[in-house]
Structure 1
Amino acid sequence: MQDPPHHDLCIVLTYYSPYVSGLTNVARDVAEGLAARGWKVCVVASRHEPDLPTREVVNGVEVVRAPVLAKVGKGTIGLNLTRLALREMARSAVVNLHLPLVEAGVLARLATVPVVSTYHCDVSLPTDDGPRVVRTVNALQHKAIDFSSRVALKRSTAVVVSSEDYARHSRMWPAIEGSMVAVPPPCPPRGTGSPTFRRGPGLHVGFLGRIVEEKGVEYLVDAFRRLDDPDARLLIGGDFQGVAGGSVAATVRRHIDGDPRIEMLGFLPEEQLDDFYASIDVFALPSVNAFEAFGIVQVVAMMAGVPALVSDIPGVRTVVENTGFGAVAKPRDVAGLTEALARLRDTPPDRAAGAASASALYSVDAVLDAYEAVFAKSRGR
């Protein structure tokens, strides 16, 4: 008789907690949420920082990390990830690959158990500026990841996407279409904070995320600076050190140009986030390309009663469209962003109603229920 699987679920991705990104947070919340429901969950990821343990249990989840030889763009190089993932996959009932993942194609081909792929977004790497060697490496990495994604998606029993809107605009749509299941990312609500970041009575706009090119922070800065309001404040929270893909903090500072109303807060630890949301009147997510596929942080802000101003790009716009709690502007449209900020300042939406709508649509329990159903169905096959 065949031995029963050691794990109910094996999750594989490049970066896992304590790294912070939307993709990482989804994998972590699904892993820990299902572990709390009694699932035996294992996560295999790269050891993106050398001081991280190679094996540990975090909030009920067994985490196995593979040593990294080098980091290239937003990915890592290290053959141990494939080897360790295949070992843990073989001991599991079902596998959940989080894409983009350069190893996904190989893992899906060699998997001996059902594979569910969560496709977060199309990879986006600059190939038209910077040193030639960087452009060449980015172009090669871009092609390799897309090829790997297509292979994995076609071999998956189900493909989870954050929204059909994003999936239909993805380069991977032909590989996604036949097995798509739309499940939004889990969005844990925040607690009650104190407005410790407020600097007066004026409109306070907040951004929270990695300070990287695809976030479009410099366009938000330019739009905010057009507001003729000396009491307004823009609070920019987010890591700009050790960020995969490279930070654009220097570019953002050039656009700030010494404006005393704008403050770069740097990385905000978990214990300060409630206070951050309690301090702002509008949350802004001015993403500029399809690498941003949903924007969990906008939902978290909405659940805290803060309306969101987001870019009109596939996936990201769906949250404001579904809740009516915020505004949408074209990517890189500085004038449009300024107009939306002024509108949300002058005619603010009902915060309580907006928070209730976001909580009803994007609760963690509803998302975990959906993932459980997908995994159970795939396991049954």
Structure 2
Amino acid sequence: MNILITISYYIPNISGLTIYAKNLAEGLTQKGYKVSVLTSDYRKEFKSGSLDRRVKVVRVWTPFLLGRGPIMPTFIFNSFFQVLKAKVVICQLPQFEALVIAFWAKVLCKKLIVTYHCDLAFWPGWINKATVFASYVSHFFTCLMANKIVVNSEDYAKNSKFLSLFKRKLTYIYPPIKLDEIEESIIFGKNEYTYKVGFVGRIAKEKGLEYLLGTIGYLQKYLGKRVAIYIAGPGEEVIGGNHQKELATLLAKYSKYIFLLGTLSDAQLVAFYKMLDVFVLPSVERMESFGMTQVEAMMLGCPVVVNNLPGAREAVLKTGMGEVVNVKNPDEFAKAIAKVIKGRKTYVIHQTVVDKIFNINNTIDSYDKLINV
């Protein structure tokens, strides 16, 4: 059976969405499906139709980006032929062009499954607001035409006004999370620090990194000056803006205690998680609906401190492997980090328990059932 997954950006762009789509696509190929991914050619350096671990990646001509959105003039034609060849279409939202996919799926009598990752943020500026409004219109009609809507957690869905419009279509499936078993030997930053606090993700506005960096003075109060923050993930190359520039003052002020590591390989990521005393997820926007990286950390025995956001808090509440906190209060945030570090043994549960709750095979099996219903 041919499956088409559509997404605005795909690997090598690094984000929760792209990792989700990659793991889903590869997992479905292992079930015997022929999987294609339809996405933008945002870097203009990849061959369309190439195979990546048995997944066919079809890239659509993208002359430029508007904010975070790819502009694809020929998408309406490309998408028709790709939907025509598929039996089932899995559309990853947010995706402005999803309405085109949904229309073709309906016209061509294809099953349409929507993976609704997150709500969008109405940031200042008329271009941002107009783009988000247009995206919501597209998402509304896409969900209206969908057979099923997959959400990362019931906690997130219950707190989404948009998803409340489609309650009868919702199904809850945890993200497909997997880790490379190979660990690469590497030293991150300096070994002079006793306590290591880590974050993995894009250096983007919604990630709340300014609140994490703002805890350094408080952390030194509770843990002494032998504490450092390690940030792994894309920075200046993030699509839709360079938030690293906005953090420049804080980065300069605490440069001795902050290490920007850039994007790590899968093997390096394993070593990174194992090095940490605590992992933090300070995201402040509803664009963070789960936080796959915190589960990766848990799978390697690292406890977590996460902001009290619907969906993002799911993993900690489900496992008890960390603390949920209001990250906008730097003192409270720092106290939670110090509490987890000092009582680390009481938070860490056996890896098999985490693996059982967030097993990627369960995720792929759940999608398999949706495809064949």
Task: Determine the structure 1 residue equivalent to 2:235.
Answer: 240
Specify the code of the residue in structure 1 equivalent to 2:74.
N
Task: Determine the structure 2 residue equivalent to 1:118.
Answer: 115
Partners of 1:205 and 1:281 within 8 A in 2: yes
Task: Determine the structure 2 residue equivalent to 1:319.
Answer: 315
Can you give the 5+ residue segments of structure 1 that lack an aligned partner in the other structure?
Answer: 1-6, 128-134
Task: Determine the structure 2 residue equivalent to 1:28.
Answer: 22
- The whole-number CA distance in structure 2 between the counterparts of 1:267 and 1:16 is 16
Name which of 145, 157, 163 aligns with 1:155: 145
TM-score of the pair, normalised by structure 2:
0.93
Name which of 207, 215, 224 aligns with 2:216: 224
**Offset of 1:246 from its aligned partner?**
1.2
Deviation larger for 257-266 or 189-198: 189-198
**Offset of 1:345 from its aligned partner?**
1.5
Deviation larger for 260-269 or 351-360: 351-360
Partners of 2:186 and 2:268 within 8 A in 1: no
Q: Secondary structure at the match of 1:366?
A: helix
- The whole-number CA distance in structure 2 between the counterparts of 1:226 and 1:195 is 29
Specify the code of the residue in structure 1 equivalent to 2:47.
P
- The whole-number CA distance in structure 2 between the counterparts of 1:32 and 1:341 is 36
TM-score of the pair, normalised by structure 1:
0.91
Q: Deviations over 1:266-325 (max 9, x none)?
A: 222333212211211101110011010000000001001101111100100011000000
Task: Determine the structure 2 residue equivalent to 1:199.
Answer: 191
**Offset of 1:65 from its aligned partner?**
0.3
Q: Secondary structure at the match of 1:316?
A: coil
- The whole-number CA distance in structure 2 between the counterparts of 1:333 and 1:136 is 30
Over aligned residue pairs, what C-alpha RMSD do you find? 1.6
Q: How does 1:209-288 map to 2 (within 5 A)?
A: 209-228=201-220, 229-256=224-251, 257-288=253-284
Name which of 56, 81, 105 aligns with 1:87: 81
Deviation larger for 106-115 or 349-358: 349-358
- The whole-number CA distance in structure 1 between the counterparts of 2:342 and 2:143 is 46
The answer to whether 1:176 aligns with 2:177 is: no
Q: Secondary structure at the match of 1:353?
A: coil
Deviation larger for 138-147 or 260-269: 260-269
Q: Deviations over 1:115-162 (max 9, x none)?
A: 0000000122522xxxxxxx2211111111001001011111100000
Specify the code of the residue in structure 1 equivalent to 2:349.
A
**Offset of 1:232 from its aligned partner?**
1.2
Q: Deviations over 1:58-78 (max 9, x none)?
A: 100111000112211221111
**Offset of 1:201 from its aligned partner?**
5.4
Can you give the 5+ residue segments of structure 2 that lack an aligned partner in the other structure?
Answer: none
Q: Secondary structure at the match of 1:82?
A: helix
CA shift in 2, pair 1:145/1:349, >3 Å: farther
Q: Secondary structure at the match of 1:371?
A: helix
Specify the code of the residue in structure 2 equivalent to 1:210.
R
Q: Deviations over 1:45-86 (max 9, x none)?
A: 001111111220110011100011221122111122332122
Task: Determine the structure 1 residue equivalent to 2:57.
Answer: 63
CA shift in 2, pair 1:190/1:284, >3 Å: farther
Partners of 1:190 and 1:303 within 8 A in 2: no
Partners of 1:307 and 1:349 within 8 A in 2: no
Specify the code of the residue in structure 2 equivalent to 1:327.
E
- The whole-number CA distance in structure 2 between the counterparts of 1:201 and 1:73 is 39
- The whole-number CA distance in structure 2 between the counterparts of 1:28 and 1:176 is 26
Name which of 135, 157, 165 aligns with 1:167: 157
**Offset of 1:186 from its aligned partner?**
0.7
What is the aligned-residue identity percentage?
Answer: 30
Partners of 2:89 and 2:112 within 8 A in 1: yes
Specify the code of the residue in structure 1 equivalent to 2:9.
Y
Q: How does 1:315-354 map to 2 (within 5 A)?
A: 315-350=311-346, 353-354=349-350
